[in-house]
Structure 1
Amino acid sequence: MAALSGRLWWRSGAALGRTAAGAVRAQELAERLRTKWSEEEKQQQQQQQQQQRARELAALQRVHPNVLAKALRQRAVYQDDEVVVLNKPYGLPVHGGPGVKNCIADVLPILAKMLVNMKAEPLHLCHRLDKETTGVMVLARSKEAADRIRLLFKTRQVEKIYW
């Protein structure tokens, strides 16, 4: 009986060894599946973000220029006697072109009227950002200030940080 029980124990030990190896393989497979699902979820999230950006871009192209100017005024992060700094939204072009209905350059006269302490002179662009780029844009309240700021950008005295 002892030999039989030893033999059964050996078999159950081997079976236990196979079970442990199977458990490791199952665990590895589960981890690979989790990684694959995680990657698929990331791809889906990226697609959803791209679709959201496309919807935002389409919405910006449909609004009235007064509504766009008001939205830009709300995005002003700094103002003084010479400059206005705003946070440019994604999808809004700085200059017009084929297929562009709304751009920042077109609404500058309207925006100028909405800002505090603004004279009759319209705002001036000092630099540009790509349509797909968000970030701060510097606008000048006078032609002289715009020329000085453009020179700073041209001579690379303005530090630009891209993320």
Structure 2
Amino acid sequence: MTLRTAQIAKVDSLPKNYTEYNPLAPAKAAFYSAVLPGLGQAYNKRYWKIPIVYAALGVSTYFIVDNQNEYTRYRDAYKRRLAGHTDDEFYGRISTEGLINAQKQFRRNKEISILVTLGIYVLNIIDANVDAHLQQFNVNKDLSIHPSFDVNEYSGKANYGLSLNFNF
């Protein structure tokens, strides 16, 4: 039997549920997730992850908007106090120094929220890529551990052991 016939016989003996390895699938899934978050998860047929991606992005975006609105409220009140007005919503409750500190706090919170949102976006892309990589591994139920018993030819004693068999 020549090498060519052995290769043909090997290809013919593939199981029916065999799917061909696609080396570009992880890159494609990552690209889809970069274009539209959750699209890479849909490409990988992991539909249950899509609501998680959008919930995480939605919550972090909510905190960006909320911190920006609060920052604007305190900044406007501070500007009115600098202009000499005494009718801002915080007058009598928060000092001018307190308005400055609140602006710093909400600006910092907004910046952290932006970083968290970018992190979630990147994790979405990484998840799609890794999931596409892991789908290409053959994880069937044929993996098994079998005990083995062997007799030593020279001493006549029994050798015991375990064997782990992988079929490639």
Structure showing greater relative contact order (alpha-carbon pairs closer than 8 Å, 6 or more residues apart): 2
Fold similarity call, TM over 0.5:
no
TM-score (norm 1): 0.29
